[in-house]
Amino acid sequence: MQPDFEDMTVGRTYEIDGSYDVTDSEIKRFAEQYDPQPFHLDEDAAAESMFGSLAASGWHTASMCMRLLVEGFLDPESSMGGKGIDELRWLQPVYPGDTLRIEVEVLEKRVSESRPAIGHVRTKLVGYNQDGEAVIEWTARTMHRRRDHEHGREGGHGKE
Amino acid sequence: MQPDFEDMTVGRTYEIDGSYDVTDSEIKRFAEQYDPQPFHLDEDAAAESMFGSLAASGWHTASMCMRLLVEGFLDPESSMGGKGIDELRWLQPVYPGDTLRIEVEVLEKRVSESRPAIGHVRTKLVGYNQDGEAVIEWTARTMHRRRDHEHGREGGHGKE
């Protein structure tokens, strides 16, 4: 299910196919490169922290959910990239051995006034662990090529 | 300059030491794992896209800025992790060869009413490229151990 702009139904929640297995080694590899705080790198430091044991960087959790979104929701033919994210919340820690899945609700869609070949969409994503606990949520603003409209290179980060 | 809660000055903008060199290979490696959309993976596909040439995943740009934040701003002794992010905007594409740096403004800080050993801080981060163009911005909500207060394992993603 990778709907284009025309097929997205406002108010519908899409349960996205696919899941992401969180591993100890990937948590550490991501943290070493992008978020080298002790509780994302080292079991002993994490045991002393508020997480209680090694936990994924919040940006890693977001990135894993993005992978599920790209593979299970965003139509590669019409998706034009994102403008931004609002109300991102890390609701629960993500640990090695967790399995993530996501749901996406379409909150709003509208045709660009200045460029009718482009549709703007607001979606809410919620990521869950294997126990059904919500671990992350955000709302996203994305752009999509409309069917049967001429288009150039507009769109992408920071354009419009 | 890695101020703890007490040393952070509301209204001050901190120019963070350190920079991050964006490479073609890292853009593709990140995208393969977390954001496999054509314009983040392949030059030819990117040339056809709204980006015009290969561009970093927005989540990759955020993660690179997080690295600069951890190494240049967050005090490892007192930083307790983040609650969430608001108003994240990808303002300009990030390309191979770009060099990123960040600035952080302290917007607000307050002591937790329920747990006075913890301080809550709101900061605004702006990421710039080598031409001084803002490429990303967000506001963050983070938690910090206060000086000279007893503390347990409170805090971390999703706690309070």
Q: What is the pLDDT of residues A29-58, one digit of tens each?
A: 999 999 999 999 999 999 988 899 999 999
Label residue A38 exposed, middle or buried (CB < 10 Å: 0-12, 13-18, 19+).
middle
CB B128 within 8 A of CB B102: yes
A38 touches chain B (CB under 8 A): yes
Q: Tell me which of B88, B131, B136, B159 to substitute to probe the interface with A (most A C-beta atoms closer than 10 Å).
A: B88
The Cα B137–Cα B127 span in angstroms is: 6
Q: Minimal Cα distance from B67: which residue of A?
A: A34
CA distances from B133 to A6, A80, B129 (A): 34, 22, 6
The Cα B95–Cα B116 span in angstroms is: 44
pLDDT, mean of residues B20-41: 97
Per-residue pLDDT of A77-86, as tens digits, reads 899 999 999 9
Confidence of residue B56 (pLDDT cuts 50, 70, 90): very high
Output Rg (C-alpha) for chain A, integer angstroms: 18
Q: Minimal Cα distance from A141: which residue of B?
A: B89
Per-residue pLDDT of B120-153, as tens digits, reads 999 999 999 999 999 999 999 999 999 987 655 5
pLDDT value of position A11: 98
DSSP string, A26-46: HHHHHHHHH---HHHH-HHHH
B39 touches chain A (CB under 8 A): yes
| Domain boundaries, given as residue ranges, for chain A | 13-145
CA distances from A82 to A70, A79, B76 (A): 12, 9, 32
Q: Do B37 and A76 touch (CB under 8 A)?
A: yes
Estimate to the nearest angstrom the gap between the alpha carbon of B43 and the chain centroid.
27
B57 touches chain A (CB under 8 A): yes
Q: Do B63 and A34 touch (CB under 8 A)?
A: yes
Measured between beta carbons, which residues in chain A are less than 8 angstroms from residue B76? 37-38
Q: Does residue A99 register a pLDDT over 80?
A: yes
Q: Do A153 and B49 touch (CB under 8 A)?
A: yes
Q: How far is A51 from chain B (nearest CA, A)?
A: 6
Was domain A13-145 assigned CATH 3.10.129.10?
yes
B155 touches chain A (CB under 8 A): yes
Measured between beta carbons, which residues in chain A are less than 8 angstroms from residue B36? 67, 70-71
pLDDT value of position B155: 56
Q: How far is B9 from chain A (nearest CA, A)?
A: 23
Predicted model pTM: 0.94
pLDDT value of position A93: 96
Half-sphere exposure in the Cβ direction for A41 (13 Å, CA):
11
pLDDT value of position A154: 53
pLDDT, mean of residues B19-26: 98
* Backbone φ, ψ for residue A32 (5° rounding): -60, -35
Task: Say how many C-beta atoms besides its own lie within 10 A of residue B110's C-beta.
Answer: 11
pLDDT value of position B3: 95
pLDDT value of position A74: 95
A91 touches chain B (CB under 8 A): yes
Average pLDDT for chain A: 93
Confidence of residue B50 (pLDDT cuts 50, 70, 90): confident
Taking alpha carbons only, the member of A139, A65, A134, A151 closest to residue A108 is: A139
